[in-house]
Amino acid sequence: MYQTFFDLARPPFPASPDPASLVIYGDLGDQLGELAGCLTSGQGIAVLTGPPGSGKTLCTLAMTRDLTSSLVGICLRTGQFNQPRELLKSVLHGLGHPFRQQDDQDLRLAVADAIHGLPSTSNGVLLAVDEAHRLGMPVLEELRGLTNLDANGRPLVRLLLAGQCDLEEKLADPQLDGLYQRVRGQARLQPLTRGESQSYLKSRIRFAGGEPGSVMTDEAVELLAIVCDGSPRCLNHLADASLQRGAWSATRPITRGEVLDALTESRQLPLRFVEPSRPSVETTSAPIATGPVEMIQTEDGFCSVEVGAGDTATDSQPAADTASATDGVINDPAANSMDENGDGHHTPTDEESVDVTAFDVVLPEANSPHGEHDQPRPHMGLFSRLRRATNRSTDEATSD
């Protein structure tokens, strides 16, 4: 519906895979070339795996289309064959032969007759099975049996299995050694990088007959590449939704705003998107204000310490008196020198004072879940230092 608005000849991001729109990125061309060589030479079975939405079906359709110059292509799009007879019926249907309600052996003979009866100009059948990770053991064994059909030492059935990564584990099952040992080509589709995702989007727009710069801004393309995290399916969906919103709002080219709006609506779908990056805000922490120290010892033997408790009282004093009263507590460098008493803790001498900057005091809870254990005793060394420092600051303030 937005093709006319953006001057496009065809949909750039169709929901149904179109082999003509295949975008080759990274080492995808080399991997598909290896599988194509395996199939055309008849050396063995080719296996293509990848995560959901990575483009397996599109690659399978493209290979089935491009390799049919000397082979008859049959692509079975579903892997939901519960019994071998269902698979054999589908192969007969792909070859254009009618089938009747026969038993498994009759169907096998009918498939063999249809393949042997192909024109002499054909080298055989390219049988591609998508969603192969859904196939059961009996159906996979039936496929292995089809690869045994040959004519004058030339294999007549070239098999391509495509499915999710679970297919690799299924083929490695010891019960399928006869099938797995015939695999001669194997490729796995990887998620796109951000650069490949951007190239993918621009290539799709060019395929549709448009100019990428007039359809989407570079910022919109970059945002799509970030939030879709290398999934072609997510790229197709979100780019298509963004173009629809742009056509509704008469916005051309698409900007980050349309992509973000489409992303908000797409969050309700079972597709996986990542959060777009946000600009970091640099914050500076405020300096910790220090002031006079007041220590209060409670009845249970614990102490509470407040920093700056005397700010209100000292506001009425002259600035010189306040500085003299607090310098002995906060800025006395002699606090670093301490002696060790008999109980193993450090205690300051009479000429020493304590340098206090910032600290936390944790008081015990009334209903502690560990009430059956001994209550922790306060650190007498620390509190004795604080008590001496407070008494000394009070004495000096009184004498002044």
Tens digits of per-residue pLDDT, 142-171?
999 999 999 988 999 999 999 999 999 999
With cut-offs at 50, 70 and 90, classify the pLDDT of residue 313.
very low
More confident residue, 251 or 307: 251
Q: Is the pLDDT of residue 118 over 70?
A: yes
More confident residue, 1 or 229: 229
Segment 328-365, tens digit of pLDDT: 444 444 444 444 444 444 555 544 444 444 444 444 44
pLDDT of residue 39: 94
Nearest to 12 by CA among 221, 204, 218, 201: 204
Q: Which CATH superfamily is domain 26-188 in?
A: P-loop containing nucleotide triphosphate hydrolases (3.40.50.300)
**CATH architecture for residues 194-266:** Orthogonal Bundle (1.10)
Q: Is the pLDDT of residue 240 over 90?
A: yes
With cut-offs at 50, 70 and 90, classify the pLDDT of residue 98.
confident
pLDDT of residue 386: 53
pLDDT, mean over the chain: 79
Q: Is-contact 199 236, C-beta < 8 A?
A: no
Where do the domains of the chain lie? Answer: 26-188, 194-266, 293-361+376-399
More confident residue, 190 or 325: 190
- Global pTM value: 0.68
Segment 56-77, tens digit of pLDDT: 999 999 999 999 888 999 999 9
Segment 360-370, tens digit of pLDDT: 444 444 444 44
pLDDT of residue 25: 87
With cut-offs at 50, 70 and 90, classify the pLDDT of residue 308.
low
